A and B are shown apart, each in its own frame.
Chain A
Amino acid sequence: GNSVTQMEGPVTLSEEAFLTINCTYTATGYPSLFWYVQYPGEGLQLLLKATKADDKGSNKGFEATYRKETTSFHLEKGSVQVSDSAVYFCALNGRGGSEKLVFGKGTKLTVNP
Protein backbone atom coordinates (compact mmCIF):
# COMPACT_ATOMS: atom_id res chain seq x y z
CA GLY A 1 0.00 0.00 0.00
CA ASN A 2 0.87 3.65 -0.09
CA SER A 3 3.13 5.04 2.61
CA VAL A 4 5.12 8.15 3.48
CA THR A 5 8.33 8.34 5.48
CA GLN A 6 9.63 11.66 6.72
CA MET A 7 12.57 12.56 8.87
CA GLU A 8 12.14 12.29 12.60
CA GLY A 9 12.11 15.47 14.57
CA PRO A 10 12.28 17.63 16.38
CA VAL A 11 14.36 20.02 14.32
CA THR A 12 15.72 23.15 15.97
CA LEU A 13 17.29 25.91 13.90
CA SER A 14 18.39 29.48 14.33
CA GLU A 15 16.67 32.20 12.37
CA GLU A 16 17.91 32.53 8.77
CA ALA A 17 19.25 28.97 8.72
CA PHE A 18 18.62 26.63 5.79
CA LEU A 19 15.92 24.02 6.27
CA THR A 20 15.54 20.58 4.74
CA ILE A 21 12.94 18.07 5.85
CA ASN A 22 13.24 14.78 3.99
CA CYS A 23 10.25 12.89 2.70
CA THR A 24 10.14 9.69 0.69
CA TYR A 25 7.14 7.73 -0.42
CA THR A 26 5.97 4.35 -1.63
CA ALA A 27 2.99 4.29 -3.92
CA THR A 28 1.46 2.49 -6.83
CA GLY A 29 0.95 4.59 -9.88
CA TYR A 30 1.54 8.32 -9.87
CA PRO A 31 0.38 9.98 -6.67
CA SER A 32 0.03 13.66 -5.95
CA LEU A 33 2.35 14.87 -3.18
CA PHE A 34 1.69 17.47 -0.51
CA TRP A 35 3.26 19.28 2.39
CA TYR A 36 0.90 20.40 5.14
CA VAL A 37 1.81 22.67 8.05
CA GLN A 38 0.20 22.78 11.47
CA TYR A 39 0.83 25.91 13.51
CA PRO A 40 0.30 25.68 17.27
CA GLY A 41 -3.39 25.47 18.11
CA GLU A 42 -4.52 25.42 14.50
CA GLY A 43 -5.63 22.87 11.93
CA LEU A 44 -3.44 21.54 9.14
CA GLN A 45 -3.01 23.88 6.21
CA LEU A 46 -1.84 23.01 2.74
CA LEU A 47 1.63 24.50 2.27
CA LEU A 48 2.42 23.28 -1.24
CA LYS A 49 1.77 20.44 -3.62
CA ALA A 50 3.00 18.75 -6.81
CA THR A 51 0.93 16.53 -9.03
CA LYS A 52 3.45 15.01 -11.43
CA ALA A 53 7.11 14.12 -11.72
CA ASP A 54 9.56 17.05 -11.80
CA ASP A 55 6.89 19.51 -10.66
CA LYS A 56 8.09 21.99 -8.07
CA GLY A 57 5.63 23.21 -5.47
CA SER A 58 6.40 26.48 -3.74
CA ASN A 59 4.80 28.79 -1.21
CA LYS A 60 5.97 31.26 1.45
CA GLY A 61 9.61 30.61 0.53
CA PHE A 62 9.26 26.84 0.88
CA GLU A 63 9.91 24.55 -2.07
CA ALA A 64 9.68 20.83 -2.82
CA THR A 65 10.32 18.97 -6.06
CA TYR A 66 8.54 15.75 -7.03
CA ARG A 67 11.37 13.31 -7.76
CA LYS A 68 10.03 10.10 -9.23
CA GLU A 69 13.43 8.48 -9.65
CA THR A 70 14.17 8.78 -5.93
CA THR A 71 10.52 8.72 -4.80
CA SER A 72 11.16 11.84 -2.77
CA PHE A 73 9.54 15.20 -2.05
CA HIS A 74 11.95 16.98 0.29
CA LEU A 75 10.88 20.31 1.78
CA GLU A 76 13.40 23.17 1.70
CA LYS A 77 13.59 26.79 2.71
CA GLY A 78 16.63 28.97 2.32
CA SER A 79 16.14 31.17 5.36
CA VAL A 80 13.72 30.20 8.11
CA GLN A 81 11.94 32.62 10.42
CA VAL A 82 10.64 32.24 13.95
CA SER A 83 7.13 32.27 12.49
CA ASP A 84 7.92 29.05 10.59
CA SER A 85 7.91 27.11 13.87
CA ALA A 86 5.26 24.43 13.35
CA VAL A 87 4.76 20.75 12.60
CA TYR A 88 5.21 19.79 8.95
CA PHE A 89 3.51 16.77 7.40
CA CYS A 90 4.35 15.16 4.08
CA ALA A 91 1.41 13.40 2.41
CA LEU A 92 0.28 11.73 -0.76
CA ASN A 93 -2.96 10.73 -2.39
CA GLY A 94 -3.48 8.21 -5.09
CA ARG A 95 -4.70 8.87 -8.55
CA GLY A 96 -7.89 7.51 -9.99
CA GLY A 97 -10.20 9.85 -8.18
CA SER A 98 -9.13 8.97 -4.67
CA GLU A 99 -8.88 11.95 -2.34
CA LYS A 100 -7.64 9.85 0.55
CA LEU A 101 -4.47 11.25 2.05
CA VAL A 102 -1.67 9.16 3.53
CA PHE A 103 0.49 11.14 5.95
CA GLY A 104 3.99 10.93 7.30
CA LYS A 105 4.46 11.19 11.06
CA GLY A 106 5.17 14.88 11.02
CA THR A 107 8.32 16.85 11.84
CA LYS A 108 8.29 19.52 14.50
CA LEU A 109 10.36 22.56 13.61
CA THR A 110 11.41 25.16 16.16
CA VAL A 111 13.17 28.29 14.97
CA ASN A 112 14.95 30.34 17.60
CA PRO A 113 15.65 34.07 17.23
Chain B
Amino acid sequence: GAVVSQHPSWVICKSGTSVKIECRSLDFQATTMFWYRQFPKQSLMLMATSNEGSKATYEQGVEKDKFLINHASLTLSTLTVTSAHPEDSSFYICSALTSGRKDEQFFGPGTRLTVL
Protein backbone atom coordinates (compact mmCIF):
# COMPACT_ATOMS: atom_id res chain seq x y z
CA GLY B 1 0.00 0.00 0.00
CA ALA B 2 0.83 3.73 0.03
CA VAL B 3 1.98 3.96 -3.58
CA VAL B 4 2.63 7.28 -5.25
CA SER B 5 3.03 7.56 -9.00
CA GLN B 6 4.32 10.36 -11.19
CA HIS B 7 3.72 11.01 -14.85
CA PRO B 8 5.61 11.40 -17.01
CA SER B 9 8.78 9.74 -15.77
CA TRP B 10 10.81 11.89 -18.11
CA VAL B 11 10.08 14.75 -20.48
CA ILE B 12 12.06 16.84 -22.93
CA CYS B 13 10.68 20.18 -24.01
CA LYS B 14 11.72 23.30 -25.86
CA SER B 15 12.60 26.50 -24.06
CA GLY B 16 9.55 28.69 -23.54
CA THR B 17 7.01 25.90 -23.39
CA SER B 18 5.11 24.72 -20.32
CA VAL B 19 5.25 21.24 -18.85
CA LYS B 20 2.78 19.58 -16.47
CA ILE B 21 3.83 16.82 -14.09
CA GLU B 22 1.23 14.72 -12.29
CA CYS B 23 1.54 13.14 -8.88
CA ARG B 24 -1.05 10.58 -7.82
CA SER B 25 -1.63 8.64 -4.63
CA LEU B 26 -2.88 5.31 -5.93
CA ASP B 27 -4.29 3.60 -2.86
CA PHE B 28 -4.77 6.28 -0.24
CA GLN B 29 -6.04 9.81 0.15
CA ALA B 30 -3.30 12.39 0.39
CA THR B 31 -4.20 15.30 2.63
CA THR B 32 -0.87 16.96 1.92
CA MET B 33 1.53 16.67 -0.98
CA PHE B 34 5.04 18.03 -1.30
CA TRP B 35 7.07 18.89 -4.37
CA TYR B 36 10.85 18.61 -4.32
CA ARG B 37 13.57 19.39 -6.78
CA GLN B 38 16.82 17.44 -6.92
CA PHE B 39 19.95 18.55 -8.72
CA PRO B 40 22.67 16.02 -9.62
CA LYS B 41 24.57 14.91 -6.52
CA GLN B 42 22.51 17.29 -4.39
CA SER B 43 19.90 16.75 -1.77
CA LEU B 44 16.17 17.08 -2.33
CA MET B 45 15.07 20.70 -1.95
CA LEU B 46 11.49 21.31 -0.89
CA MET B 47 9.73 23.60 -3.35
CA ALA B 48 6.22 23.76 -1.98
CA THR B 49 3.61 22.15 0.21
CA SER B 50 0.06 21.74 -1.00
CA ASN B 51 -3.09 20.79 0.85
CA GLU B 52 -6.13 19.58 -1.02
CA GLY B 53 -8.43 22.40 -1.98
CA SER B 54 -6.17 25.24 -0.90
CA LYS B 55 -3.30 27.25 -2.33
CA ALA B 56 0.17 25.83 -2.14
CA THR B 57 2.73 27.23 0.27
CA TYR B 58 6.00 27.91 -1.48
CA GLU B 59 9.43 27.85 0.06
CA GLN B 60 11.54 30.96 0.06
CA GLY B 61 13.14 31.57 -3.30
CA VAL B 62 10.69 29.45 -5.31
CA GLU B 63 8.73 31.45 -7.89
CA LYS B 64 5.07 30.61 -7.50
CA ASP B 65 4.22 32.03 -10.93
CA LYS B 66 6.87 29.83 -12.48
CA PHE B 67 5.98 26.62 -10.70
CA LEU B 68 2.20 26.33 -10.57
CA ILE B 69 0.88 23.74 -8.16
CA ASN B 70 -2.67 22.47 -8.10
CA HIS B 71 -4.01 19.96 -5.58
CA ALA B 72 -7.57 19.62 -6.79
CA SER B 73 -8.37 16.24 -5.28
CA LEU B 74 -7.18 13.99 -2.49
CA THR B 75 -5.36 11.78 -4.96
CA LEU B 76 -3.89 14.20 -7.48
CA SER B 77 -1.49 17.12 -7.43
CA THR B 78 0.07 18.72 -10.48
CA LEU B 79 3.17 20.83 -10.96
CA THR B 80 3.30 22.99 -14.06
CA VAL B 81 6.62 24.50 -15.04
CA THR B 82 5.65 27.56 -17.06
CA SER B 83 7.82 29.05 -19.79
CA ALA B 84 10.52 26.53 -19.05
CA HIS B 85 14.18 27.38 -19.55
CA PRO B 86 17.29 25.20 -19.51
CA GLU B 87 18.00 26.14 -15.90
CA ASP B 88 14.69 24.48 -14.95
CA SER B 89 16.08 21.14 -16.07
CA SER B 90 16.08 18.94 -13.00
CA PHE B 91 14.60 15.92 -11.29
CA TYR B 92 11.22 16.70 -9.71
CA ILE B 93 9.88 14.45 -6.96
CA CYS B 94 6.56 14.52 -5.18
CA SER B 95 5.56 12.98 -1.90
CA ALA B 96 2.30 12.55 -0.07
CA LEU B 97 1.05 12.41 3.49
CA THR B 98 -2.02 10.61 4.64
CA SER B 99 -3.92 11.79 7.67
CA GLY B 100 -3.44 8.46 9.38
CA ARG B 101 0.37 8.48 9.21
CA LYS B 102 1.60 12.01 9.46
CA ASP B 103 5.13 11.02 10.32
CA GLU B 104 5.89 9.33 7.01
CA GLN B 105 5.97 10.80 3.53
CA PHE B 106 5.41 8.44 0.59
CA PHE B 107 7.46 9.38 -2.43
CA GLY B 108 6.87 9.14 -6.13
CA PRO B 109 9.62 7.85 -8.45
CA GLY B 110 10.39 11.30 -9.82
CA THR B 111 10.21 13.05 -13.19
CA ARG B 112 13.30 14.00 -15.16
CA LEU B 113 12.75 17.31 -16.99
CA THR B 114 15.16 18.42 -19.70
CA VAL B 115 14.63 21.80 -21.31
CA LEU B 116 16.44 22.36 -24.58
Q: Which residues of A contact B (CB under 8 A)?
A: 4, 32, 36, 41-46, 49, 51, 89, 99-106
Contact = CB atoms under 8 A, between A and B. Distances in A.
Interface in B73-87: none
B108 A43 contact: yes
Contacts of B46: 100-102
15 contacts: A36-B107, A42-B109, A43-B4, A43-B93, A43-B107, A43-B108, A44-B95, A44-B107, A46-B105, A51-B103, A99-B32, A102-B46, A103-B44, A105-B42, A105-B43
Contacts of A36: 107
B104 interface: yes
Contacts of A44: 44, 93, 95, 107
A106 B43 contact: yes
A51 B42 CA distance: 25
Most chain-B Cβ atoms within 10 A of its Cβ — which of A49, A51, A101?
A: A101
A44 B108 CA distance: 7
B93 A104 contact: no
Contacts of B110: 43
A72 to B, nearest CB: 17
Given A41-B109, A99-B97, A100-B49, A46 B104 contact: yes
A99 B105 contact: yes
Most chain-A Cβ atoms within 10 A of its Cβ — which of B42, B43, B102, B107?
A: B43
B103 A32 contact: yes
B2 to A, nearest CB: 10
A49 B103 contact: yes
Contact of B109 (A4, A43, A103): A43
B103 A101 contact: no
B51 to A, nearest CB: 11
Nearest to B57: A100
B31 to A, nearest CB: 10
Contact of A103 (B4, B43, B49): B43
